[in-house]
A and B are shown apart, each in its own frame.
Chain A
Amino acid sequence: MLDDPLALARLQFAFTAATHYMFVALTLGLAPYILFNQLTAVLKRDEARMRAVRFWGGLYVLNYAMGILSGLVMELQLALNWSGLSDMFGYAFGAPLAVETMGAFFIESTFLGLWIFGWDRMGRWAHWACFLVVTATAYASAYWVLVANGFLKWPSGFRIEDGTAVLDSPWALLGNPSTLMAFGHVATSALLVGAAVIAAVSASHLRRGHDPDRMFHRGIRHAVAILLVAVFPVVAVGGAQFILYGQEPPTSGMTYSAEEIAAIEADRSPAVEAVGRIGGDVVMMTSWLLITVVAATGAVVWLVRRLDRARWFHWVLIALPVLPYLASIGGWVFRETERQPWVVRHHLTTADAMTDLSPAMAVASFAFFTAAFTALAAVTVWLLVRFARRGPEGGPLAPAPAESDREGGEPVPARTL
């Protein structure tokens, strides 16, 4: 395998995309929760709720870092390793990603910076509005990336001239059914990821009897509620995507004839298919089923008013985040392997989309980015767990302790950033 640049490039992409998505999913899932919490805090002028916002926000910011780092690699990796895709579909695939980088990510990071550094430096509504922008652009980002990804699965809105795609209809791009359904599925599944993490953190503190300002009493209830609300829509929208299976995308036939398509598809590796179906679909569905069981149990425990005290259930919740993360990765594995051997269905195979990499380049790139991601992801997860367990005192966004002069015994204004 070490002398097969294609296998290495594909594995690298799969690994970096999966890593990226894990952190993105928590970003998407946690943002609306923080937004809602901060809104309540601002409306009620409640300092205790703002401390909760600082706590969840601290975890959010920690998680966001790894999302950025992996996102940078995703963007450049496409340019470096997959130039064949750009040669043929540069405009159709690249234009939505261009909008994402400028119209969504640029604004999201800028306003997140404002939110972090502007704490107590701007009016409370302005501060909340910054996070409103962050949340909106996070979801906009997901949409635009899915426009590009949906195009790969269901290419439409272009014609082929001289072997390259010429965009005909931006509307077809934006309203692509594969995109829209995937967006709904991603949005609802991200809520499950966020809710599971909130539930786990809240349960771990309640289990130890540590509940400052009753934030975890609220957290566990919010989390169970979100789980119950999102768990059926996610499977409904996800299942709806099967409509497109077995159907030909509207542009089929422009590049290869039907016989050529059949020949190419007959060549696909059964191993990849198996990975997709078992590693992907089965893992995703099984995880979803288990999440439903936990959510239903949560509803019952809540009804009998044992949510704060049922320690056995706290342990279940602490383990819960594994499930939506497995489901998310499984879902992406399924989605991407199902499309193979195509990178753009019926137009461009994965092998043809790759840059002409020498084995040395492929090995070096794969080795470095795999090692770096493993290390950085491990550090991020370690930090997340550490700060989640520590609780609101001393979190990443907690107000900084004042400088050393505290022997005076007078109230020292806590110096925030």
Chain B
Amino acid sequence: MELIPVLFITALLAGYFVLAGCDIGLGMLMPYLARTRGERRRAVSAAAPYFLGTEVWLVGAIGAVAGLFPGLKAAVVTDLWPVFAVLLAGWLLRDAGLWFRARAEAPSWHGLWDAAIVGGSWTVAVCWGLASGALLAGGSLASPFVPAVAAVVVVLFLLRGAAFGAERLVPPGSEADEAGEAGDALPAGRSPHTAVSADTAARLTRVLARAGLAVLAVAVPLGALSGALDGGRPLAAGAGAALVAVALAATAGTEGPGRSRHTSAVAMGVLVPAVGVGAAPPVEPVPGAVLTLVAVALAPVVPLMVVGQVALYRMVRRPAPATGFFARVAPVPAPAGTGALAGAARFRPTAVGGPQERESHGA
């Protein structure tokens, strides 16, 4: 009977890595992919809508582990205290950066929070790498196997971010937005820059896939030779590594960038069960009363969880807008000669319910 909670938690964690890998990865790549202020604003605008919806998977997973498998939680989190403490710090800084960035206009403000986003994203990825390596190595950070695994995990995050960026950094002018928005065509100088970010990201996926294969080629023998997995299930970990290698190989070829969205998702998704099964952490059966309590309390709201997530991803799947809650443009001053009132009449927000036909205003 403990299979169902284990599967549920594995699904939550895998979901976190697959989904949050996108925004974490993009945050890590920001200094490389986004050089100008506009590009950086667009990169943040691409990552930000996701993080709110993706981090809840991790919060739920931690809660589920703490409540249903406290022994597992002790073995994983408490025993790796420094790694998880630093991960928490990085997570905190990254979220703060994403949320506060667009709240003021000063470049120094943006620079500060951009640094928090990039630094926080790298911290989180590296810590997950160290945690995965330490778990596979039987709970100790000392083995040389650990940094090798950490490197693989970091590359997987970068790959996921690059695949995400290849899609989401495409400027809206080149897609569905052309209907009725022709008047908003970006000035000639702007589109090439933002398109460059997406192209760079796409090309990066191949480089990262090859780097990932290289690191994997180091990690697997290290794991086999150092005896790190003796306490666990080396075959399961090996199978996981093989699947990751296949996904990376599919991305490493010329057709790779086009498929990278799916292959990077597969690689990330395999990571969780590979580490979870391979490390063989202690899992005790969940007592009946606890399982009943949690199952009965959650059953009515699971549909809401699913519906909400699906709706959120469909909504933010469209190309990243240039402005929004997480990435605002500095307000343009009203054209000279117009009074405040005339400007206000011109600048009426769209009515609730969607853009509608509006009568032309007399001068």
Contacts and interface: CB of A to CB of B under 8 A. Distances in A.
Interface stretch (A28-36, A71-79, A215-223, A301-309): A71-79
A50 B360 CA distance: 22
A15 interface: no
Given A69-B96, A72-B88, A113-B53, A361 B353 contact: no
Interface stretch (A102-110, A190-198, A247-255, A316-324): A102-110
B39 interface: no
A86 B70 contact: yes
A415 B325 CA distance: 12
Given A98-B64, A173-B293, A90 B184 contact: no
A407 B12 CA distance: 50
Contacts of A107: 301, 304-305, 308
Nearest to A64: B99
Given A76-B84, A80-B85, A120-B352, A97 B332 contact: no
Contacts of B103: 62, 383, 387, 396
A409 B63 CA distance: 54
Interface in A375-413: 376, 379, 383, 387, 394, 396-413
A397 B325 contact: yes
Contacts of B70: 86-87, 90-91, 94
A369 B85 CA distance: 10
Interface stretch (A161-169, A203-211, A271-279, A280-288): A161-169
Nearest to B82: A361
A271 to B, nearest CB: 29
A225 interface: no
A387 B103 CA distance: 9
Given A76-B62, A90-B71, A98-B67, A406 B332 contact: yes
A413 B104 CA distance: 24
Interface stretch (A3-11, A41-49, A181-189): A41-49
A180 B196 CA distance: 57
A114 B60 contact: no
B74 A83 contact: yes
A350 B22 CA distance: 40
A368 interface: yes
A133 interface: yes
A84 to B, nearest CB: 10
B22 to A, nearest CB: 14
Given A79-B77, A86-B73, A383-B103, A113 B325 contact: no
Contacts of A105: 56, 59-60
Contacts of B309: 110
Contacts of B188: none
A416 interface: yes
Interface string B160-204: 000000000000000000000001111100000000000000000
Contacts of B67: 90-91, 94-99
Contact of A117 (B55, B95, B312, B328): B312
A372 B97 CA distance: 12
A408 B325 CA distance: 26
Contact of B305 (A102, A124, A168, A408): A102
Contacts of A75: 59, 62-63, 66
Contacts of A121: 315, 354
B7 interface: no
Nearest to B363: A409
Contacts of B242: none
A412 B361 contact: no
A68 interface: yes
A414 B301 contact: no
B354 A401 contact: no
B331 A167 contact: no
Nearest to B296: A170
Nearest to B5: A98
Which of B71, B309, B312 is the most central at the interface, judged by chain A CB atoms within 10 Å of its CB? B312
A368 B70 CA distance: 26
Given A47-B351, A65-B95, A411-B346, A404 B187 contact: yes
A400 B329 contact: yes
A106 B81 contact: no
B49 interface: yes
A117 B298 CA distance: 26
A231 interface: no
Interface string B79-94: 0011011001101110
Given A45-B352, A414-B349, A114 B62 contact: no
Contacts of A406: 332, 335
Nearest to B50: A113
A131 interface: no
A56 interface: no
A397 B349 CA distance: 12
A100 interface: yes
A103 B301 contact: yes
A90 B66 contact: yes
A365 B308 contact: no
Interface string B340-362: 00000011111111110010110
A165 to B, nearest CB: 10
Given A133-B308, A401-B332, A47 B290 contact: no
Interface stretch (B146-154, B266-274, B316-324): B316-324
A123 interface: yes
A305 to B, nearest CB: 29
Given A69-B95, A103-B301, A120 B73 contact: no
B184 A87 contact: no
Contacts of B57: 106
B88 A73 contact: yes
A95 B315 contact: no
B287 interface: yes
Contact of A103 (B297, B322, B351): B297
A78 B293 CA distance: 21
A257 B67 CA distance: 28
Nearest to B310: A110
A123 B351 CA distance: 11
A372 B86 CA distance: 13
Nearest to A46: B352
Nearest to A410: B183
B323 to A, nearest CB: 4
Contact of A110 (B56, B351, B361): B56
Which of A117, A169, A410, A414 is the most central at the interface, judged by chain B CB atoms within 10 Å of its CB? A117
Contacts of A124: 352-353
22 contacts: A42-B352, A71-B59, A72-B55, A73-B92, A75-B59, A86-B74, A97-B67, A98-B64, A98-B294, A106-B56, A114-B308, A116-B52, A355-B78, A355-B81, A365-B85, A383-B100, A400-B321, A411-B347, A411-B358, A412-B347, A415-B321, A417-B323
6 tightest CB-CB pairs across the interface, nearest first? A90-B70, A98-B67, A101-B63, A94-B67, A110-B308, A417-B324
